Amino acid sequence: GAVVSQHPSWVICKSGTSVKIECRSLDFQATTMFWYRQFPKQSLMLMATSNEGSKATYEQGVEKDKFLINHASLTLSTLTVTSAHPEDSSFYICSARDPLLPMRGNYGYTFGSGTRLTVV
Partner 1 sequence: QKEVEQNSGPLSVPEGAIASLNCTYSDRVSQSFFWYRQYSGKSPELIMSIYSNGDKEDGRFTAQLNKASQYVSLLIRDSQPSDSATYLCAVNPRGNNRKLIWGLGTSLAVNP
Q: Which residues bind partner 1 (CB under 8 A)?
A: 31-32, 34, 42-44, 46, 49, 91, 93, 97, 99, 103-114, 116
State the amino acid at position 105 in one-letter form. Answer: G
Asked whether 29 and 8 are in contact (CB, 8 A), the reply is no
Nearer to partner 1, 16 or 108 (CB): 108
Q: How far is the CB of 83 from partner 1 (least distance, A)?
A: 26
- Inter-CA distances, 91 with 53, 72, 95, Å: 26, 23, 13
Nearer to partner 1, 46 or 82 (CB): 46
Closest distance between partner 1 and the C-beta of residue 32, in Å? 5
Nearer residue to partner 1 within complex by CB, 82 or 91? 91
Cβ–Cβ under 8 Å, residues 24 and 16: no
Beta bridge partners of 7: 22
